[in-house]
Amino acid sequence: MLPYPHRHLLALQGLEPPYIADLLDLAESYALLNRSGKTQRDLLKGRTLINLFFEDSTRTRTSFELAGKRLGADVINMSVSNSSVNKGETLLDTASTLNAMHCDLLVVRHAQSGAPALLSQKVDAAVINAGDGTHEHPTQALLDALTIRRRKGQLENLTVAICGDVLHSRVARSNIHLLLAMNCRVRLVGPPTLIPAEAGRLGVEVFHDMKAGLKDVDVVMMLRLQKERMAGGLVPSAREFFRFYGLDAAKLALAKPDAIVMHPGPMNRGVEIDSAIADDPVRSVIGEQVEMGVAVRMAVLDILSRNQRRNAR
């Protein structure tokens, strides 16, 4: 296994395929370990992991917390209220506070793109981006990749449709970078108002007709549509969105017969996904995504702390 070349995990853009494959292999082994009920509580013993969440999240925070605890780290959750987020000094003041606490691993979620990168310049800890604005959410894409690889037996040469509100999705951006690096064909499906400008220049194909976009795909990745998008006029109504861009049985029928359905959660049932699809035990892998989330985060914590140990020597 190659030593991971960075101190932090801030983005997947630019991360070379061998490192992605290594991370997934390691995560796979943690997935097996987790299923066996065993733990490795000595690996991060005596290390401090801080979950610094400037934005509400239950799922991701819990997943990192569990990952840290299964590896034996001391895990602390810090939620910073929205009122103080707006003060820029707070972010860097927080950095000096964290340095004083001798935090080793810092998991950051922030509503602003680039906030974890800014923090990483000021803290001694290894920073893991747990979602920044509409930029990236690297561990989500890694867990999605691991889920796909387990279900499909491979990651390369698949066709993946990422559907819905791509414009505001950090999950989509990280997935685009990872899937393209692993030689998948990536399609973006959504109304023009929810597809980012010049998305085609990233190397993806863009579809505004969901039926065409889903034709013969191996993986359907749905994204959450936030209610505020309706208020902002980007989508006229939830019912119109569901009619044209919601995943239902009729649209899914155009994908390959064994195509899997993914969603990063939390879902808006009846807005971007029909309940019957979300709960379909054969097609939906949403539950497995959550399970792989813990394994992927264990692998990320492991690899970054290996780097810290190597640098300390």
Partner 1 sequence: MSLTTIPDTLFVNARLVDPASGLDAPGSLLVSGGRIADHGGSLGQPDGATVIDCGGAVLAPGLVDLRAALGEPGAEYRETIESAAIAAAAGGITTVCALPDTQPALDDPALVQFLLRKGEATGSLSVLPYGAATKGCAGQELSEFGLLKEAGAIAFTDGGKAIANARTMRLALSYARAFGAFVVQHPEEPALAKGGAATEGEQATRMGLPGIPPAAEAMMVMRDIALARLTGGHVHFAHVSTAAALELIRGAKAEGLKVTCDTAPPYFDLNETAIGDFRTYAKLSPPLRREEDRLAVVAALADGTVDAIASDHQPADPDDKRLPFAQASAGGTGLATLLGITLARVHAGDLQLGTALALLTSRPAALLGIEAGRLERGAPADLVLFDLERAWKVEAGKLPGKAQNSPFDGRALEGRVLGTWKAGRRVFG
Give the three-class secondary structure for 305: helix
Q: Which stretch binds partner 1 (CB under 8 A): 41-49, 126-134, 240-248, 262-270?
A: 126-134
Total interface residues for partner 1 by CB under 8 A: 26
Does 306 belong to an annotated binding site? no
Please identify which residue in 2, 89, 311, 312 interacts with partner 1, judged by CB under 8 A. 89
Among 81, 201, 228, 231, binds partner 1 (CB under 8 A): 201
Contact status: 134 vs partner 1 (CB under 8 A) = yes
CA gap 77, 54 in Å, rounded: 11
Residue 87, marked binder: yes
Does 265 bind partner 1 (CB under 8 A)? Our answer is: no
Q: Which amino acid is at 255?
A: A
Among residues 55, 65, 104, 136, the one that binds partner 1 under rule CB under 8 A:
136
247 near partner 1, judged by CB under 8 A:
no
44 backbone dihedrals φ, ψ, rounded to 5°: -110, 25
Q: 3-class SS at 10?
A: coil
Would the annotation count 170 as a binding residue?
yes
* Joined tokens for residue 280: 């379909």
140 is in an annotated binding site: yes
Check residue 187 for interaction with partner 1 (CB under 8 A).
no
Is residue 266 part of an annotated ligand binding site?
yes
**224 labeled binding residue:** yes
**Strand 48-53 versus strand 105-110 pairing type:** parallel
Q: Which CA distances in Å does 7 have to 10, 190, 310?
A: 9, 36, 11
149 binds partner 1 (CB under 8 A): no
Candidate segments 20-28, 134-142, 157-165, 291-299, binder of partner 1 by CB under 8 A: 134-142
The least distance separating partner 1 from the CB of residue 206, rounded to whole angstroms, comes to: 12
Minimum distance between the CB of residue 202 and partner 1, rounded to whole angstroms? Answer: 7
**196: which 2 tokens?**
């980012």
The residue from 17, 133, 265, 270 that contacts partner 1 (CB under 8 A) is: 133
Query: How far is Cα of residue 217 from the mean position of the Cα atoms in its chain?
Result: 21
Cα dihedral 17, 19, 24, 25 in deg (nearest 10): 110
Q: Is the dihedral of CA 52, 58, 64, 68 positive or negative?
A: positive
Angle of CA points 268, 248, 282, to nearest 5°: 95
- The H or E element containing residue 182 is none
Nearest distance, CB of residue 118 and partner 1, angstroms: 6
Residue 6 CB, nearest approach to partner 1 (Å): 13
Closest among 139, 201, 121, 122 to 11, alpha carbons compared: 139
55 binds partner 1 (CB under 8 A): no
- Which residue, chain included where needed, has tokens 């690899």? 303
In a 13 Å sphere around the CA of 291, the CA atoms on its Cβ side amount to: 15
The residue to which tokens 């960075």 are assigned: 6
Question: Binding of partner 1 at residue 115 (CB under 8 A)?
Answer: yes
Within 9-28, the residues that bind partner 1 by CB under 8 A are 13
- The response to whether 35 counts as a known ligand-binding position is no
Binding positions are: 59-60, 87, 109, 137, 140, 170, 224, 265-266
Q: Which residues bind partner 1 (CB under 8 A)?
A: 13, 86, 88-89, 91-92, 110, 112-115, 117-118, 132-136, 170, 173, 196-199, 201-202
